Amino acid sequence: ATLNAYEVTKIVTTCPHCFNTLKKEYPDLGGNYEVIHHTQLLKKLLKEEKLTIQGGKFKGKRITYHDPCYLGRANQIYEAPRELLQKLDAELIEMKSCKSKGLCCGAGGAQMFKDAEKGNKEINIERTEDVKETKAEIVATGCPFCNTMLTDGAKTIEEERKISVMDISELIANAQEL
């Protein structure tokens, strides 16, 4: 009701969970909006030449991309983030579990806010080990929860000096040579 009162027609999200909820659940409540993820917006702005990436701060860097569950498997958005990363002139290295077979970061279902359950290994550690296996210097994310979980994973396996975790929007913003 609040969004409709303000006559909202388009919503841009940075959170894939919010993207999914607003896109798939709000219409049942009378909220019919164009909902786009920030990676889709950035791709559109680049295509329309309203945003440019100059310089090559990431040229030659090895970057892997972690597919957030609610962006990838739940909404089949795989290419927009990858197309943005390719604009950085970096080497995009895919993890063994990616796209429709992507592995959760461990935050889903509010898991990041509760104590670990029984098992051999925390899921964010498993996923960070997948990142480490690629020998990537940077893991790009499109979700603030994934960013937190992978950052914590890198600290836990003592790889935080070797693996930077960055949102795609941060990479785009920092791509300019100073």
Q: What is the pLDDT of residue 20?
A: 97
Q: What is the pLDDT of residue 178?
A: 45
Provide the token pair at 161. Answer: 């000096």
The arithmetic mean of pLDDT across residues 19-46, rounded, is 97
- Of 34-38, 49-53, 117-121, highest mean pLDDT: 34-38
* Residue 177's pLDDT band (cuts 50, 70, 90): low
Q: Does the pLDDT of residue 176 top 80, yes or no?
A: no
The arithmetic mean of pLDDT across residues 118-144, rounded, is 93
Q: What is the pLDDT of residue 104?
A: 93
What b/e string do you get for 120-133 counting C-beta neighbours within 10 Å, with b at 16 or more? eebbbbbbbebbbe
Rounded to whole angstroms, the Cα distance separating 45 from 62 reads: 25
How far, CA to CA in Å, does 150 sit from each of 5, 53, 87, 89?
A: 38, 26, 23, 23
* Residue 55's pLDDT band (cuts 50, 70, 90): low
Cβ neighbours of residue 80 closer than 8 Å, sequence gap 6 or more: 37, 39, 40, 42, 43
Rounded to whole angstroms, the Cα distance separating 151 from 125 reads: 10
Q: Across the chain, where does the E strand assignment appear?
A: 10-13, 34-37, 62-65, 91-92, 138-141, 164-167
pTM here is 0.91
Q: Does the pLDDT of residue 25 top 90, yes or no?
A: yes
**Cβ contact 77:67 at 8 Å:** no
**Residue length of the chain:** 178
The arithmetic mean of pLDDT across residues 158-171, rounded, is 91
**Cβ contact 113:145 at 8 Å:** no
Number of other residues whose CB lies within 10 A of the CB of residue 48: 8
Lowest mean pLDDT among 93-97, 118-122, 151-155: 118-122
Place of tokens 């607003």: 22
